[in-house]
């Protein structure tokens, strides 16, 4: 958010608007999405230090064999990097990329769920 947008957001808050902020997560949970929807202004807090072993690059998916972690491999330049500076390493590992594997995992776990077909193309485009 640039300075003018911040000033505009602050002015809107003065007249009774709801503002929410959160760090970005891989596959945000339902409460995160509710927070986004309930706010008039939502700020993605990506100017703070990236935390390893957190939900910024991983999440658990419920599969037939139980919970399974989906972990996005990130390029490690420095431990002091900000979230906004991180990049996913989506290089091919054999014949597939991390994003393709992650999408297949989600498709196997939730492919028969209501509305999966509606959102699958967009999710696949983002991940791959």
How confident is the prediction along the chain (128 residues), in pLDDT tens digits per residue? 555 676 666 666 666 788 999 999 999 999 999 999 999 999 999 999 999 889 999 999 999 999 999 999 999 899 899 999 999 999 888 889 999 999 999 999 999 999 999 999 999 999 98
Collect all residues with Cβ–Cβ distance below 8 Å to 7 and sequence separation of at least 6. none
- Within 13 A of 103's CA, how many CA atoms are on the CB side? 17
Domain boundaries, given as residue ranges, for the chain: 1-45, 57-128
Structure tokens at 13: 């808050």
Query: Would you state the pLDDT for residue 113?
Result: 96
Distance from C-alpha of 13 to C-alpha of 6, rounded to nearest angstrom: 11
Query: Would you state the pLDDT for residue 11?
Result: 66
């Amino acid at each position: 958010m640039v300075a003018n947008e911040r000033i505009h957001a602050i002015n809107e808050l003065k007249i009774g608007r709801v503002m929410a902020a959160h760090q970005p997560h891989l596959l945000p949970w339902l409460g995160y999405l509710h927070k986004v929807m309930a706010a008039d202004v939502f700020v993605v807090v990506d100017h703070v230090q990236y935390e390893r072993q957190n939900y910024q690059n991983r999440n658990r998916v419920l599969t037939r064999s139980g919970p399974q972690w989906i972990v996005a491999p990130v390029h490690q330049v420095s431990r002091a990097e900000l979230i906004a500076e991180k990049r996913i390493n989506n290089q091919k590992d054999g014949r597939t990329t991390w994003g393709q594997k992650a999408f297949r995992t989600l498709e196997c776990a939730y492919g028969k769920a209501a509305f999966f077909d509606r959102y699958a193309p967009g999710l696949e485009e983002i991940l791959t």
